[in-house]
Amino acid sequence: MDTAPAESVDVALEDGLWHIRLNRPHKRNALTLPMFAALGEALQAGQAHPEVGALLLSGAGADFTAGHDLQAFEHWPQASWDPIPRFLHALPRVRKPLVIAVQGVAIGIGATSLLHADWVCSTADANIRFPFIELGLVPEAGSSQLLAMTVGLGRARRLLLDGQAVSGAMAHEWGLVSEVVAADTLLDEARARARRLASRDARAYARTKTLLQPAGLARRIDVEIELINRAVLERRAAASDGDA
């Protein structure tokens, strides 16, 4: 096993499987700026590694991830070369199989990242939520385009505009989750699925992923980032006016 150290993100090569694990369980694996940087690098490294057949993303402890650590908004606005946009663009560029294991909460980026997975294994009682409206933000990771394609426009409105939370079981019914598994077998099932997908013809797999990706996704991600930047700046301006 080869471990690549990174702040609060563990990366290990497990017999051809590139396992990326969020490791901040005391904060429900909420993502800090260094974690976003490490995640982007880990995805790129797994894609480039000649011995890697598939990537697995999971969270340590009771949760997948509570999403963006709110204190990390101090680092916005973000330019295209900054850690969060680089990570958001790294997700759809993965052409090897990408499997995500979900337990506990999957909030914000924890939910939007699922739209880039080839297979999502989830516990039935996982809590999946897109809370962007509550935060005064637009959604990210291309979810304003991908979510409606995945679950339908009506359900996407419920998830994005109302912020409705869904369980892993309901997300499976809606098509956001591929498979519901027991909590005690979650990682084993996710590893098995990743290795099964890795057994497919790698070139055909990568080409098919490219064909399935909607046109204009990279630009949509950039537009979302621009609108989040604007919202953060507007909030700061309003706060400054209030202090005056």
| pLDDT level of residue 238 (50, 70, 90 thresholds) | confident
- Per-residue pLDDT of 60-98, as tens digits, reads 999 999 999 988 778 889 999 999 999 999 999 999 999
C-alpha pair distances (Å), 12 with each of 2, 148, 206: 5, 34, 22
* pLDDT tops 70 at residue 244: no
Strand order in the sheet with 17-22: 2-4, 9-14, 17-22, 54-59, 98-102, 119-122, 179-180
Q: Say yes or no to pLDDT of 121 above 90.
A: yes
pLDDT at 5 over 60: no
pTM for this predicted structure: 0.94
Q: What is the CATH number of the domain that holds 228?
A: 3.90.226.10
Determine the structural domain holding residue 162 and report its residue range: 2-243
5-19, 31-45, 85-99, 149-163: lowest mean pLDDT where? 5-19
* Assigned token pair, 83: 């850690």
State how many domains the chain has. Answer: 1
pLDDT score recorded for residue 73: 77
